[in-house]
Structure 1
Amino acid sequence: MKLLTLSALAGVLISQAAARAVGSDGKLVVGYWMSDDMSTLDFSKVTHINYAFSTIQNGVPSSPATLKKLVPAAHAADTKVLLSIGGWGGGNGFTPSFNNSAGRAKFVAATKKLIDDTGIDGVDIDWEYPGEPGACGQPYALSDTKNFLTVLKQLRAAIGEEKLITAATATHPFFDESGKPSKDISAFAKVFDWINLMSYDLNGIWGLTTGPNAPMIKGLGGVKASVVQGVTDWHKAGMPIDQIVVGTPFYGHNMTSIKSMAKNAGTHEYDPVQGGNTGHNCNGGGFSTETGWQDIIPYLYKNRTTAIPPWVRKFDTITRTPWLTNSETNEFISYDDPISLAEKVDYVVCMDLLGVMTWELSLDNGELLPVLNQISEKAAKHGKSKHGKHGHDSSKCIPTGPVTH
């Protein structure tokens, strides 16, 4: 296909944006994106693109060349662009740069210059993770969170209130100097515009059993982390509800159980896994076992609720997530589909959260992003909840029972 000129592309995107409803009510659809091929991007269905990744070299975040074409095209479609700094395996520069005044000043000045030079709308700090181990060999210190807050305050003062500062976070608050999740992160709420909860990569080969990649709530096994746990813990520690964005995956995790799971009940997605371990996992969120939605759908019929043999599809009505198992090889895949994503959107709307985020846009075949895009229409119908003195009660927003979508 003949490539469009930038001006022609901008014209197309403007026409797409003219009828866009997403974001009109203040709800966000944030999409992480790694490619330099913009032909698959539909700016009309996202409010913000987090371009991944910039890494810190000698205190200075790198400036990807793709921004030169991405920023004007996105802006023509009324979509904002943030540069995501860090990522799994890309966080080696955080602790050394932030643990001294000279390093912090250098980072702030370089980041401000990067924003000014590229025209991006802000930065997304994807530090995995302040005060605790991330990728093996990545430095960290118990003073990380304190230093992080200091540099964020300096960055906010340097770039002003109009530019955005966001963060991709674990489902628990940043670790404090005791080596545990902070009980009070309210000071961060004053410098962040919002946080993107990475409420995925929660179970995988780095554990002892199979389990859900992105559970709505904890199921019959696996770790305690979940969408609801993340929202609850961050809000309890001082992050306002309307500054929390819930992350969703456009991919699943593969692993192989030691026995057949084909006859298991949907809620029984926890069987011993081959190669499981409880040690710190050098491969992070198990990216070596990641399977994009585009690679999952060949195992499903067009209705997406029935698997093509020898695959068997189940739905866990507790975690509200689908999973696949191969009756011949015992391979297991936990993932999200249009049904589970729609329920997460409903939860976000019910809780009056700020929006939804996804990793990663290029893993979609065009079926998943429109589901997230429904958030504005659903929010308009829902209206603003009156939570009263009891606050935001997740229990009233968690779907139960059979799937209704």
Structure 2
Amino acid sequence: MAKLLLGTALVLLACLELGSAYRLVCYFTNWAQYRPGAGKYKPENIDPCLCTHLIYAFAGMKNNQITTYEWNDVILYHTFNGLKNKNGNLKTLLSVGGWNFGTQRFTAMVSSSGTRQVFINSVISFLHRYGFDGLDIDWEYPASRGSPPQDKYLYTVLVQEMMAAFEAEGRSTGRPRLLLSAAVAGGKSNIDSGYEIPELGKVFDFINVMTYDFFGPWSHTTGENSPLYPLPNSQSALNLELNVNYAMNYWKENGAPAEKLNVGFPTYGHTFRLSSSNTGVGAPASGPGPAGKYTRQAGFLSYYEICTFLKSATMKWNAPQVVPYAYKGNEWLGHDDVKSFRDKVEWLKNNNYGGAMVWDLALDDFSGTFCNQGPYPLINTLHTGLGISQVCVPSKTAVRLVVPPMQAPSGGGSSSSDGSGFCAGKANGVYADPKDKNKYYQCVNEVSYMKHCAAGLVFDPSCDCCSWV
């Protein structure tokens, strides 16, 4: 019996050390910091043990070089990448682009070998400077939205050259190779026009398919944000194509390895304004529902806002499409919930996909105060369903904080952002707080920014980093 118990214990230990075979990739958005009150979200709100990969959205581009976007990105990078001090297995990537970024700067950058090389060199330097493990490319979309047809081919060339440079840099320095991923379209027309799928499938470490926004307030009828399957008894091409199952199969059948594909999971829903007494899926609609209190965007609700909406709404389960919907007065909501996430995870595993991608961390009920389901109810459903290890081991090597010279964020001058005046007369850099070991100052052009190490960590001047006591 003792031998049996010992053997069982060893198997359990091995499973814990190996963790899940699946990825759980979660996006962080650097504009969530501007939401009011309980909706405000910053890197310190992230549970470092929740996801296997975190992607910071978004970086920008200037003169064919990757750049920061928000005034305080450098400060947020430190906290974001410092999460690896608490989870040594966590990988962090920086995403460049996004919907609002458009296509023009991508088109200019990929247009020649020289401009591509400028971008690639800037990426390698930038990622290492701030402690990221890789790059995520979110070009929406090659050869669409003003991007010319040749960008389909040039996108492939960029990706191939980027990976070759990552591999060469890793060999020459002895550092782990930087990771390369992409956020890609879930709609067939954008897939066909923008991607050489077999070639991309050979290069990317993983591919995040944006299997959401299939229907929204831009549609003339109500529809689900991320339905797993098409509506039955409808033969329209859009109905047959605009669903998770079709999009993922299309990527796989056209040459992307299933194990590299991550299924997109939205932690938000879309609202419509009904224009008739019909309240079902496909009912006539005349635009977006009202903006949420915290996300403040018409036709869009975070999951924590959805929970508030549902308290006074009629809820329905859309069994054929494996997602719920709800309505209240003339407002109609298509969304996901814990049940739909659980069902989709089982489908994901049955189809041998590599993992899940979440857009985004700040839209789940991250505080656990709105839905009475605990913190991050949707993402925790993925975490559990994918068998992500509950063991979160601190990094053996503290993440170093790097502070290059930069412009003062809001007009410069000698004013101190935290009122301390600590950085007056000091060079740009990171300094210990003489009164509190858990705090440190970031000095940028003599402006002071007080930062906190994560709980349980102290600032160590010998490495300019937060480390364990």
Question: TM-score, length-normalised on structure 1?
Answer: 0.76
Matched with 1:171 is 186
What letter corresponds to residue 179 of structure 2 in structure 1? L
Matched with 2:216 is 204
Q: Is the 8 A contact 1:33 1:361 kept in 2?
A: yes
Q: Is the 8 A contact 1:324 1:333 kept in 2?
A: yes
Question: TM-score, length-normalised on structure 2?
Answer: 0.66
Q: Distance in 1 between matches of 2:84 and 2:357?
A: 17
SS of the equivalent of 1:93 reads helix
Matched with 2:455 is none
What letter corresponds to residue 56 of structure 1 in structure 2? M
Larger radius of gyration: 2
Q: Is the 8 A contact 1:172 1:234 kept in 2?
A: no
Q: How does 1:2-401 map to 2 (within 5 A)?
A: 24-35=19-30, 37-63=42-68, 64-65=73-74, 66-77=76-87, 78-91=89-102, 92-133=104-145, 139-160=146-167, 162-172=177-187, 180=193, 185-220=197-232, 223=239, 224-262=241-279, 268-275=280-287, 288-300=298-310, 308-309=311-312, 311-326=313-328, 328=329, 330-365=330-365, 366=375, 367-377=377-387
SS of the equivalent of 1:166 reads strand
Q: Distance in 2 between matches of 1:260 and 1:23?
A: 54
Identity of aligned residues (%): 27
CA 1:55–1:181 in 2, change beyond 3 Å: closer, same or farther?
A: closer
Q: Distance in 1 between matches of 2:201 and 2:100?
A: 26
TM superposition shift of 1:21: 5.7
Q: Is the 8 A contact 2:149 2:193 kept in 1?
A: no
Please identify, of 26-35 and 193-202, the stretch whose mean Cα deviation from structure 2 is larger: 26-35
CA 1:175–1:248 in 2, change beyond 3 Å: closer, same or farther?
A: closer
CA 1:148–1:180 in 2, change beyond 3 Å: closer, same or farther?
A: closer
SS of the equivalent of 1:368 reads helix
Q: Distance in 1 between matches of 2:300 and 2:86?
A: 33
Q: Is the 8 A contact 1:20 1:44 kept in 2?
A: no
Q: Distance in 1 between matches of 2:243 and 2:17?
A: 26
Matched with 1:5 is none
How many residue pairs get aligned? The number is: 330
SS of the equivalent of 1:128 reads coil
Q: Is the 8 A contact 2:314 2:326 kept in 1?
A: yes
SS of the equivalent of 1:315 reads strand
TM superposition shift of 1:129: 0.6
What letter corresponds to residue 27 of structure 1 in structure 2? Y
Q: Is the 8 A contact 2:227 2:322 kept in 1?
A: yes
What letter corresponds to residue 85 of structure 1 in structure 2? V
SS of the equivalent of 1:206 reads coil
TM superposition shift of 1:291: 0.5
Please identify, of 35-44 and 197-206, the stretch whose mean Cα deviation from structure 2 is larger: 35-44
Measured against aligned partners, the alpha-carbon deviations of 1:114-145 in whole angstroms (never above 9, x if no partner) come to 12212211011111111112xxxxx4110111
TM superposition shift of 1:175: 5.3
CA 1:170–1:312 in 2, change beyond 3 Å: closer, same or farther?
A: same
Q: Is the 8 A contact 1:172 1:233 kept in 2?
A: no
Q: Is the 8 A contact 2:261 2:355 kept in 1?
A: yes
TM superposition shift of 1:319: 1.0
Q: Is the 8 A contact 1:131 1:174 kept in 2?
A: no
Q: Unpaired segments of 5 or more residues in structure 1?
A: 1-17, 134-138, 263-267, 277-285, 301-307, 380-405
CA 1:295–1:331 in 2, change beyond 3 Å: closer, same or farther?
A: same
What letter corresponds to residue 359 of structure 1 in structure 2? W
TM superposition shift of 1:39: 3.1
TM superposition shift of 1:219: 1.5
CA 1:130–1:251 in 2, change beyond 3 Å: closer, same or farther?
A: same
Q: Distance in 2 between matches of 1:288 and 1:113?
A: 39
Measured against aligned partners, the alpha-carbon deviations of 1:210-269 in whole angstroms (never above 9, x if no partner) come to 10000101125664221111111101110011010001110000111101345xxxxx41
Q: Distance in 2 between matches of 1:196 and 1:186?
A: 15
Q: Is the 8 A contact 1:22 1:46 kept in 2?
A: no
What letter corresponds to residue 264 of structure 2 in structure 1? G
Q: Distance in 1 between matches of 2:361 and 2:285?
A: 29
Measured against aligned partners, the alpha-carbon deviations of 1:264-296 in whole angstroms (never above 9, x if no partner) come to xxxx411111149xxxxxxxxx96421000101
SS of the equivalent of 2:180 reads strand
Q: Is the 8 A contact 1:216 1:319 kept in 2?
A: yes
